[in-house]
Each structure stands twice: as C-alpha cells, then as structure tokens.
C-alpha cells in the first residue's frame, strides 16, 4: 500500500447547534452529520492542489463551539506520500479552502466561523 501523510482540518459551523448526541460516534445525529461533512469536505479537497493525491477525511469528533448555536468539527485527512507527490503546504491548502468557501463563510448548507479554519500538516 502506498504511504500516506495525515493532516488535521478543523473548523466551526455557526448554524449547527451542538448537542450531546454529537459527542457520541454511534448516535444517529453524529453519523448523519459526519456523512454530510464528507459530502462537502472531500470534493473541496479533491479540487485543491493536493487533489490528485488526496485520499479522504475522517471526522474524529464534534465539539461545542464558542456559542450554543455552533459546533466545532475535527477531521483527520490523508493524501498519498511518495517521491512523485509534491510537498504538503498547509498555508497553500488553507488559502485554497478559504477561496472555495467564500472566505471561510460557507460550506454547502453550513455557515462557517471565518476565523475557525485550521490546517496542520
């Protein structure tokens, strides 16, 4: 199997109220929200500079946001790592995602806290 490199991708949704069932990975709400996240996150990263090497993201958890109407989303994403793969540049991917989410304000049906996007390689 090809080697992969992981990076974290975290952000806060301002129009998704955090509830206790979002803390439980086996709850219906966790699973349905997780599915929606993949529907939005994976296509964006596939369109980014790492797209050809992007292998997917996994939601690792949801957490309460700064106010009761917001929810933080934590993911671990992966991309292939080989001598043919360009070096992962978190700042570059951040700028691309910023552009693709209208200045970190929109992710599909969700509104984002424009100061919440965090990418760590």
CATH code, domain carrying 84: 3.30.70.960
State yes or no: pLDDT of 121 exceeds 90.
no
Average confidence (pLDDT) over 23-35: 96
Split into its structural domains, the chain has a count of 1
pLDDT in the model for residue 86: 80
Mean pLDDT score across all residues of the chain: 93
Two tokens, residue 46: 């596939």
State yes or no: pLDDT of 6 exceeds 60.
yes
- Domain residues for 52? 5-120
Give dist(CA 100, CA 95) in Å, integer.
9
Confidence of residue 80 (pLDDT cuts 50, 70, 90): confident
CB 14 within 8 A of CB 112: yes
- Element (DSSP H or E) covering residue 42: helix 28-46
């Amino acid at each position: 199997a090809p080697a992969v490199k992981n990076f974290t991708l975290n952000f806060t949704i301002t129009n998704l109220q955090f509830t206790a069932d979002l803390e439980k990975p086996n709850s219906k709400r966790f699973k349905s929200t997780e599915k929606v996240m993949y529907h939005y996150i994976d296509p964006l990263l596939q369109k980014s500079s790492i797209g050809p090497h992007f292998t997917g993201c996994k939601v690792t958890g949801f957490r309460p946001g700064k106010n009761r109407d917001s929810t933080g989303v934590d993911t671990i994403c992966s991309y292939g790592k080989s001598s043919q793969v360009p070096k992962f540049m978190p700042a570059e991917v951040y700028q691309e995602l910023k552009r693709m989410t209208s200045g970190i304000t929109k992710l599909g049906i969700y509104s984002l806290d424009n100061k919440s996007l965090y990418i760590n390689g």
